Amino acid sequence: MELRAHSSYSEMEYDIQFWRTKSGLEVDFILGSGEVAIEVKGSGRVGGRGLHALNAFVEEFEPKHALMICTEKEERAVGKIRIVPWKIFLTRLWAGDYPG
């Protein structure tokens, strides 16, 4: 809901879609024309298998931003993916960092 609100209130009106392969890999949100890929997990520690679908999307489409939003306390990078605490993500979203 936050992404829809941002798309509307920011007057950017970007597309919000999802991505799924025939083999069942899935990324929760793809913004715009694929510039931003977002996976959301409710866990406090993300790694390995939890990044598999997002990594597959990154390899195929090379988005500007690949984000894993979760409840971890600190932001970190795993390869081309940024793992971002949800509060930091929302602050950056409304500051205009995404989907640009």
pLDDT attached to residue 45: 87
pLDDT tens for residues 84-97? 999 999 999 999 99
* Mean of per-residue pLDDT scores for the chain: 94
In CATH, the architecture of 2-95 is 3-Layer(aba) Sandwich (3.40)
With a cut of 90, say whether residue 40 has pLDDT above it. Answer: yes
pLDDT tens for residues 65-76? 999 999 999 999
Domain regions of the chain by residue span: 2-95
In whole angstroms, give the CA distance from residue 75 to residue 8.
Answer: 27
pLDDT attached to residue 100: 65
In whole angstroms, give the CA distance from residue 36 to residue 100.
Answer: 8
Question: For residue 23, what are the contacts with CB-CB under 8 A and spacing of at least 6?
Answer: none
With a cut of 90, say whether residue 50 has pLDDT above it. Answer: no
